[in-house]
Chains A and B, each alone.
Chain A
């Protein structure tokens, strides 16, 4: 996640399965914890925490819904604007 911001990303989406549909047990809270940590870290640099989002749309096999969720995310990041303090 940090590497993406370091490379100049305006937002980072972590895409995972919906709760209860992942084949790995108990993975959701670990993903959430890591994302929360990354949000705190970028906040220390003055980057808005909301620039990292977890998207848990549908099965990765459902292309249309997947594309919609990603497009929504892109829209939200565009609304936030470009990061002022890129490298």
Chain B
């Protein structure tokens, strides 16, 4: 899931202080799981902003709302007319949600209440760890399910490097060496010999170097087109 962390109340206040009617709009999927941007957090931010407005002597109406996802129209369409009644939407979704919603709110700006951090998992309650970089060309079958793109500090495809130290990375003794983990995992799987195959230089065009990415699922698109034709759209 996508992990985010809330911006400070000072940073949020600086963004919103000149607006009269603000909606703090929560997203109840990924960023709710990481306690950053769900409806509960939106309610808290709204309360803090109302109190801050009172302290600063500013007249500001601040309300909150939450939907399951900001990244799918079917979830926010039922409330979009309500959303458009505000001067500003402070979205506590990830950056995807802010982008997506921003395209659909007409003249109402959508500002981010979070910093979107990474794709991660719940290591322990309250601890979230990056495990995937969304590079668009998965090689986890070659590395024992441990991603060297996301988890090796140098993104090495053929590791470890000389900076590995008793299972830790040279950047910090708190950071596991991904390639140490890969080697140990491959030993357990009885597949260590797979690592002797040298991986060629990577084609990064499937990652950030290829511009904005898009995936189309042909059979779904075809079905949707047929439905639209039936409906005379």
Interface residues of A (CB under 8 A from B): 2-3, 5-6, 41, 44-46, 85-87
Is there an interface contact between B8 and A6, defined as CB atoms closer than 8 Å? Answer: no
A44 surroundings in chain B (CB, below 8 A): 8-10, 48
Contact partner of B48 (CB less than 8 A), chosen from A41, A85, A86, A87, is A41
Return 10 A-B CB contacts under 8 Å, by A number.
A2-B51, A6-B50, A41-B9, A41-B48, A44-B48, A45-B55, A46-B55, A85-B55, A87-B50, A87-B55
Is there an interface contact between A45 and B50, defined as CB atoms closer than 8 Å? Answer: no
B54 surroundings in chain A (CB, below 8 A): 85-87
A85 surroundings in chain B (CB, below 8 A): 54-55
Could you tell me which residues of chain B, from 18 to 74, have a CB within 8 Å of some CB in chain A? 44, 47-48, 50-52, 54-55
Cα–Cα distance between A87 and B62 once the two chains are bound (Å): 14
Q: How far is the CB of A86 from chain B (nearest CB, A)?
A: 7
B8 surroundings in chain A (CB, below 8 A): 44
Q: How far is the CB of B6 from chain A (nearest CB, A)?
A: 11
Contact partner of A2 (CB less than 8 A), chosen from B10, B47, B55, is B47
Cα–Cα distance between A6 and B47 once the two chains are bound (Å): 7
A3 surroundings in chain B (CB, below 8 A): 47
* Sample of 12 further A-B pairs with CB below 8 A, known A41-B9, A44-B48: A2-B44, A2-B48, A2-B51, A5-B51, A6-B51, A41-B44, A41-B48, A45-B51, A45-B52, A86-B54, A87-B54, A87-B55
Cα–Cα distance between A3 and B47 once the two chains are bound (Å): 7
Cα–Cα distance between A2 and B48 once the two chains are bound (Å): 8
Is there an interface contact between B47 and A87, defined as CB atoms closer than 8 Å? Answer: no
Cα–Cα distance between A44 and B50 once the two chains are bound (Å): 13
Measured CB to CB, the nearest residue on chain A to B8 is A44
B55 surroundings in chain A (CB, below 8 A): 45-46, 85, 87
A45 surroundings in chain B (CB, below 8 A): 9, 48, 51-52, 55
Cα–Cα distance between A8 and B17 once the two chains are bound (Å): 21
A87 surroundings in chain B (CB, below 8 A): 50-51, 54-55
A5 surroundings in chain B (CB, below 8 A): 51
Cα–Cα distance between A87 and B9 once the two chains are bound (Å): 17
Cα–Cα distance between A87 and B57 once the two chains are bound (Å): 8
Q: How far is the CB of B95 from chain A (nearest CB, A)?
A: 23
